[in-house]
């Protein structure tokens, strides 16, 4: 997978890039780097971990890092939405840009 950089995101935005997007772009790149670090760390850990509660009972719980990884993916998706770079938003843009609606997209 290609490394995510500010330049790459700016190129994806193309003509719709605005200087006000810069803060979101920076936040996306930093969050993506954090996501990659967590992903690497999680590969070396079990997905389920033993946990002993206050009653001294031991059971298995989901690795807390996997929960944080999922939250980070949601944050990345929300940042892409804010920048207008989700697949659905790009499709809407194409439809508004002279695309003939032949009904095929509804399938």
Give pLDDT tens digits for 35-59: 999 999 999 999 999 999 999 999 9
CA distance 53 to 50: 10
pTM of the full predicted structure?
Answer: 0.76
Predicted local distance difference test score (pLDDT) of residue 88: 81
H, E, C per residue of the chain = CCCCCHHHHHHHHHHHCCHHHHHHHHHHHHHHHHHHHHHHHHHCCCCEEEEECCCCCEEEEECHHHHHHHHHHHHHHHHHHHHCCCHHHHHHHHHHCCCCCCCHHHC
Mean pLDDT of the chain: 87
Q: What is the pLDDT of residues 72-82, one digit of tens each?
A: 999 999 999 99
Evaluate whether 22 touches 82 at the Cβ level (below 8 Å): no
């Amino acid at each position: 997978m290609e490394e995510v950089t500010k330049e790459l995101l700016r190129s994806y935005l193309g003509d719709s890039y605005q200087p006000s997007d810069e803060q979101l772009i920076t936040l996306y790149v930093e969050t993506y780097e954090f996501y990659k670090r967590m992903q690497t760390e999680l590969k070396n850990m079990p997905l389920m971990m033993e946990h002993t509660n206050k009653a001294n009972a031991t059971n298995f719980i989901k690795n807390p890092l996997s929960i944080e990884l999922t939250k980070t993916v949601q944050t990345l998706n929300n940042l892409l939405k804010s920048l207008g770079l989700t697949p659905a938003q790009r499709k809407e843009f194409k439809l508004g840009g002279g695309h003939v609606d032949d009904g095929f997209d509804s399938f």
